[in-house]
Chain A
């Protein structure tokens, strides 16, 4: 479980995160949603330690990320997996080498064991035959799946996904969402997904945090979102004609 307590962050005079406090539970897909510029990425980057918040606490099962020593931070980071918006696969390595990389760095297992684990992860994301390819040779969806395989190679406790569906068609997005959901359940991970994809919200949103101009505006799940009377949330969720009609039909 990850708890956020009173996180504040400003860049010069601009307040980006304003007193954010929320909880992300284990074994659930937790979504952070909000308009572009609402602070989603800054919040996620603060949670993984890429950005230092101005104040507040980020508690990983009770351990405050902001008070950890360098060694403790390294140990905690080895329990994290992250799927970046652009996949961030190492372009000089093959897909299999990418997935093996965290194992090569931190595992003392034999080469055979590491390769077996990497191949298992590739099999899990349905990329069994892509191991010898370079990232450039894969489609966007395949790159995302390869990045998921790399993220789960070390069996992390915490999985972070930054805009996992950006640039993907709706069908491929569903495949990625399903994969993230299944992996979360299989490994009982605390998964946090940064998204503004409404299909993801309705599909895998077990715990949803809605940010508005850097503040926490609403928190609930995908069922509650349909009946919420929060105007800002409704303006965001039902912004398109299609979703408005969907809601009216549902009502």
Chain B
């Protein structure tokens, strides 16, 4: 029964995506919504991304310096580890997990409210492909803004590491810089960007699916919001495993 429900939901999700990925009725209106979504989903998230990344960068550095480093380990390891963790995992996967909470619940509740207040029905009656009009700009907006968020996150993490070394006196800036520059592979950055773009698609499409298909009232909107965050978080973690293996 559970499997049948999952298959039904997956089928509905695919059917919805089929309606989403159509040519917009009016390109001007699509672009208008696209820019709005860039702002709401992307620019509005920069603050939280910067704050979290700054502190995580600092904490990784502290952990390596204070708790993991030992006599056999070179002094530049905390810098190296901070950079690699930020590049490979935090700024893509973990940041997207955080965004699935912020952006995912926002999308699900927005669309869910539109559904229960018949705004989506109003679009359909006008002859507008509501899935395309409402969801496509969200998906494309987050996918296009996410590389910028990843870059900001990596940069903030590095700034965090430098800040804690400078302020907390837990090492030297020189050692940290050596570590930060040691054995740098540009591909790691692009791997993070590719993963984050995939996760951005998961976050927006899954949250849209739950919000768009709400039936009932405000309680159902709340449930849809929760389900969107839980489902997209699980799928991010599962797909992260496969993507990391695939891209490494």
Contact = CB atoms under 8 A, between A and B. Distances in A.
B127 A77 contact: yes
A117 interface: no
Interface residues of B, number: 14
B125 A90 contact: no
A80 B122 CA distance: 11
B118 interface: yes
Contact of A85 (B118, B119, B124, B126): B118
Contact of B124 (A50, A75, A102, A104): A50
A249 interface: no
B235 interface: no
A239 interface: no
A78 B127 contact: yes
B117 A78 contact: no
Contacts of A77: 124-127
Interface residues of A, number: 26
Contacts of B28: 104
B125 A50 contact: yes
Given A75-B127, A77-B127, A105 B121 contact: no
B56 to A, nearest CB: 34
Interface of A: 48-50, 73-78, 80-82, 84-86, 88-91, 101-102, 104-106, 154, 160
A48 B29 CA distance: 24
Contacts of B118: 84-86, 88
B122 A88 contact: yes
Residue from A81, A85, A88, A89 having most chain B Cβ neighbours under 10 A: A88
Contact of A82 (B29, B122, B128): B122
B126 A86 contact: no
28 contacts: A50-B121, A50-B124, A50-B125, A77-B124, A77-B126, A77-B127, A78-B127, A80-B125, A80-B126, A80-B127, A81-B125, A82-B125, A84-B121, A84-B122, A86-B117, A86-B118, A88-B118, A88-B121, A90-B119, A90-B122, A91-B119, A104-B28, A104-B29, A105-B26, A106-B26, A106-B126, A106-B127, A154-B126
Interface in B17-31: 25-26, 28-29
A96 to B, nearest CB: 15
A102 B122 CA distance: 10
Contacts of B121: 50, 84, 88
Nearest to A70: B129
A73 B28 CA distance: 23
A213 to B, nearest CB: 24
B119 A105 contact: no
Nearest to B125: A82
Residue from B25, B28, B125 having most chain A Cβ neighbours under 10 A: B125
Given A85-B118, A88-B118, A105 B128 contact: yes
Nearest to A104: B29
Contacts of B124: 49-50, 77
Q: Which 6 pairs between the two chains have the least Cβ-Cβ distance?
A: A77-B127, A88-B118, A88-B122, A78-B127, A74-B127, A82-B125
